[in-house]
Amino acid sequence: MRWYWIDRFLEFESGRYAKAVKNISLAEDHLHDHFPYYPIIPNSLVIEGLAQTGGLLVCEHNHFTEKVVLAKIPKAAFYCEACPGETLTYTATIDYIQEEGAMVTATSYKGDVLHAEAEIVFAHLSDSRRGSLFDPETFLRMMNLLGAFDVGHAADGSRLVPPPHLMHGAKGDGT
Amino acid sequence: MPTKEEVFEKIQAALVDALGVDEEDVTPQATLVGDLGAESIDFLDIVFRLEKAFSIKIPRGELFPEDILTDAKYVQDGKVTEQGVAELRKRMPFANLDDFAKNPIVQDFGNLLTVADMCRFVEGKVEVTD
């Protein structure tokens, strides 16, 4: 199983917001074990999907130079369940960003129905932790796989492109 | 220009949102760690909220100079040295370190900061009126 909790970006505006979809499928193993015979997507994985949507937004804003980690969920609320066959639309908006990290607000909608909302704090790992967890290029490959560069645009409206110094890492399957 | 009361109210709101505590628990005397349950990662969240609320910049280590507590020059046998306490006083003029200085155990430092200290810290960065 790969740790992808969104399937594709629908919209991506650099430094501002991103919208992604998560299609829930009965083929996902965890749905059979979370509540046996009552398959619903676990709330923790919705949070992870929201964090992937927002985390990649923060990463791209930093030109993939920072190691962005989910630090804290100050608030999260869930209003209904989501089942196989349904599609969740996640939107993440940057509220605040600076060199130490970022704050993002995120929502999950099931059609027109608000399914969940959360606040997420991301931290940038210090230089001393660099190289210990993951490579920023991993995020770039993930962006590519999820179609962010197909739909995204920069703050000035121009097409979103990978930063020149990482162009060689923009291809690949994210593994 | 905010009043001291407005500074307190904004800090109170930031702590309620960051720590999930009730508004009435955020009194000037409340300690962030002991009374309000703040953990280390919460300080990043709190700093972000203060920066946003007051349009200020809080450089890392300014509100909570953790670098002093991990510097062998200032810590011996789990206690902050006299030189370390002097450095803390210099770096934290907004906090009352008198009680801590009597028995400066590093582990106790985390529970030093109060809501009133944070108010004084912010008042040092923004112009306030009475």
Q: Report the number of distinct structural domains present in chain A.
A: 1
Range(s) of the domain holding residue A145:
8-169
Which of A75, A95, A101 has its CB closest to that of B44?
A101
In sequence order, what E strands does chain A have?
Answer: 8-13, 17-23, 68-78, 87-98, 101-110, 113-124, 152-153
Q: Which candidate, B117, B116, B70, B125, places its Cα nearest to that of B89?
A: B117
Instruction: Give me the percent of chain B exceeding a pLDDT of 90.
Output: 67
Q: Which amino acid is at A92?
A: A
B17 close contact with A: CB closer than 8 A: yes
- The per-residue pLDDT for A72 is 96
Active-site residue among A34, A61, A63, A153? A34
Which of A58, A68, A72 would you mutate first to test chain B, the one with the most B CBs within 10 A? A72
Ranges of each domain in chain B: 1-58+113-130, 65-109
* Residue range A88-105, pLDDT digits in tens: 999 999 999 998 999 999
Give the angle subtended at the CA of B129 by the CAs of B126 and B130, to the nearest 5°.
Answer: 135
Q: Catalytic: A34?
A: yes
Structural domain contains residue A143: yes
Query: Does position A131 have pLDDT exceeding 70, yes or no?
Result: no
Distance CA A86, CA A69 (A): 28
Q: Beta strands A68-78 and A17-23: pairing type? A: unpaired
Distance CA A100, CA B4 (A): 28
- The per-residue pLDDT for A164 is 81
- The per-residue pLDDT for B61 is 83
- The per-residue pLDDT for A170 is 55
| Structural contact between residues A103 and A119, judged by C-beta atoms closer than 8 angstroms | yes
Question: CB distance A123–B20 less than 8 Å?
Answer: no
A71 close contact with B: CB closer than 8 A: yes
Q: Both tokens of residue B74?
A: 């200032």
- The per-residue pLDDT for A5 is 95
Structural domain contains residue A52: yes
Mean pLDDT of A75-96: 97
- The per-residue pLDDT for A133 is 63
Q: The domain that contains A16 carries what CATH number? A: 3.10.129.10
Token pair 């990463």: residue: A59
> Confidence class of residue A135 from pLDDT cuts 50, 70 and 90?
confident
| Structural contact between residues A103 and A95, judged by C-beta atoms closer than 8 angstroms | yes
| Structural contact between residues A100 and A38, judged by C-beta atoms closer than 8 angstroms | no
- The 3-state DSSP class for residue A23 equals strand
Mean pLDDT of B24-52: 93
Query: Does position A50 have pLDDT exceeding 70, yes or no?
Result: yes
Question: CB distance A72–B42 less than 8 Å?
Answer: yes
Structural domain contains residue A175: no
Cα torsion for B44, B50, B56, B61, to the nearest 10°? -30
Question: What top-level class would CATH report for the domain B1-58+113-130?
Answer: mainly alpha
Question: CB distance A121–B44 less than 8 Å?
Answer: yes
Which of B17, B44, B62, B64 would you mutate first to test chain A, the one with the most A CBs within 10 A? B44
Distance CA A120, CA A69 (A): 10
Count Cβ–Cβ pairs < 8 Å, chain A vs chain B.
Answer: 36
Query: Does position A127 have pLDDT exceeding 90, yes or no?
Result: no
In this predicted complex, what is the ipTM?
A: 0.83
Query: Does position B7 have pLDDT exceeding 80, yes or no?
Result: yes
* Residue range B81-114, pLDDT digits in tens: 999 999 999 999 999 899 899 999 988 887 889 9
- The per-residue pLDDT for B67 is 85
Q: Sign of torsion, CA A33 A76 A88 A101?
A: negative
Query: Does position A175 have pLDDT exceeding 50, yes or no?
Result: no
- The per-residue pLDDT for A1 is 66
Mean pLDDT of B55-81: 89
Query: Residue B52 burial by CB count (10 A; 0-12/13-18/19+): exposed, middle or buried?
Result: middle
Query: Does position A129 have pLDDT exceeding 80, yes or no?
Result: no
Give the angle subtended at the CA of A20 by the CAs of A14 and A26, to the nearest 5°.
Answer: 160
- The per-residue pLDDT for A64 is 87
Query: Does position A115 have pLDDT exceeding 80, yes or no?
Result: yes
